[in-house]
Structure 1
């Protein structure tokens, strides 16, 4: 995927300005930065989730496999079929574990070998061994970490190319966080992953590339987010090119 001078507006508010970066295949890209810098807004622009917000408008280029996903002839539902999303708070449906994973498969008509597809997704989310004997159990009865992995299973069941993760570990304890981070590395062998995280140590641990966003005030005193620097994670955390990046990762602000 590629972003070319992406701007996001919410009504009259110009929330994010001129963000450009490349999301490389089968790699983990992290977005970091202080609250209100636009990183989650940019993440949601990658599969047109902002379309669901009244007054939201995205300009610039967001291309997936060379196709502008905001072109008039592009169906946003199909975009989200190929570019899935895992949210900050685990949001399993009030259904059984099996039906949680099968939901997207049924919606997309992928019902051949349904049980096998559900098992494959749960294995892919490193959850199968923990739930295989209780597939009729409610997804809401699982622990927080298990619920998040169930949501990941639900996302990958429909075989997307890209998985977006918006702070997927922020509500999890350290043990569950480790499991999800290990899972990310495994998933990156098959999927392209973009993660928003407030945890800089997590970004350093899991990602190959890092985008640092920050926020400024324009001439009218309006706050807006922008991409400061995008590079290899090792470089961002050891020798960033921009002083603002260094100030953030060393704790001088944010």
Structure 2
């Protein structure tokens, strides 16, 4: 069983990636990833398009399993348990490791029904009204929607829809929340609201987010992982991890030249 604590910082490690390689058919998409995700921190994935950030994110809750050509080698440990062991139930993985997507994707149901959808599937026996109120308060949406819970979620603004999707993700009491560019489709004011929410949520959850916004990564994350792309001998694009450190180190004193070039806007 893999160790769960980073010895140097004594921080509990929630997700530990060891030598991960991701293939789609015979195409190597992501190469030799070694990366720790610490508990109750925000880890940001940055890098140019096509470097495998979202692919790695989806490995953490096994969403890539739904792609027929997907194949993974190496290990991903969740509190020391290999997520890709044969006895692991992917559905349970996705309950514990929730995900929020790039574009808000509320179900075409009422606000109330969006929130209770997951708990109903998992057999929740508690008070649904209390669950809805608590979840919406966690994402600072309750005061805005408490009088229209039975109205369609599609009537909400984009920023409200995204916070609703985050509320929906946390109703099943996950341990980790994955966010794939959660603000890319939002206006600046809604983006700041979601960023404030992320900072608040890390008190309870471990958060891993993909972002193309360097300022956002520097504002909300505790640690940053920079990914880049290289070409194989056949000209295929392969994503790889360049470096991973505390966010202030990545942005103020990166160790790799390609990291310096990317965060300064010279490419990407």
Q: Would you say how many aligned residue pairs link Structure 1 and Structure 2?
A: 254
Give the 3-state SS of the residue equivalent to 2:32 in structure 1.
strand
Q: Distance in 1 between matches of 2:42 and 2:55?
A: 18
Give the 3-state SS of the residue equivalent to 1:237 in structure 2.
helix
Q: Distance in 2 between matches of 1:198 and 1:178?
A: 15
Q: Distance in 2 between matches of 1:70 and 1:134?
A: 42
- The equivalent of 1:157 in structure 2 is 171
Q: CA deviation at 1:251?
A: 1.2
Runs of 4 or more, structure 1, over 3 Å off, are none
- The equivalent of 1:179 in structure 2 is 193
Alignment root-mean-square deviation, CA: 0.6
- The equivalent of 2:108 in structure 1 is 94
- The equivalent of 1:108 in structure 2 is 122
TM-score (norm 2): 0.94
Q: CA deviation at 1:189?
A: 0.3
Q: 1:219 aligns with which of 233, 242, 250?
A: 233
Q: Distance in 1 between matches of 2:116 and 2:33?
A: 36
Does structure 1 residue 251 correspond to structure 2 residue 265?
yes
Kindly provide the CA deviation profile for residues 40-89 of structure 1, in whole angstroms up to 9, marking residues without a partner as x: 00000010010011210111111111100100000000000000000001
- The equivalent of 2:48 in structure 1 is 34
Correspondence 1:40-189 to 2 at 5 A = 40-189=54-203
Q: CA deviation at 1:150?
A: 0.4
- The equivalent of 1:15 in structure 2 is 29
Give the 3-state SS of the residue equivalent to 1:41 in structure 2.
helix
Give the 3-state SS of the residue equivalent to 1:23 in structure 2.
strand
Does structure 1 residue 233 correspond to structure 2 residue 250?
no
> Gaps spanning 5+ residues in structure 2: where?
1-14
Q: Distance in 2 between matches of 1:173 and 1:198?
A: 15
Q: 2:209 aligns with which of 195, 200, 217?
A: 195
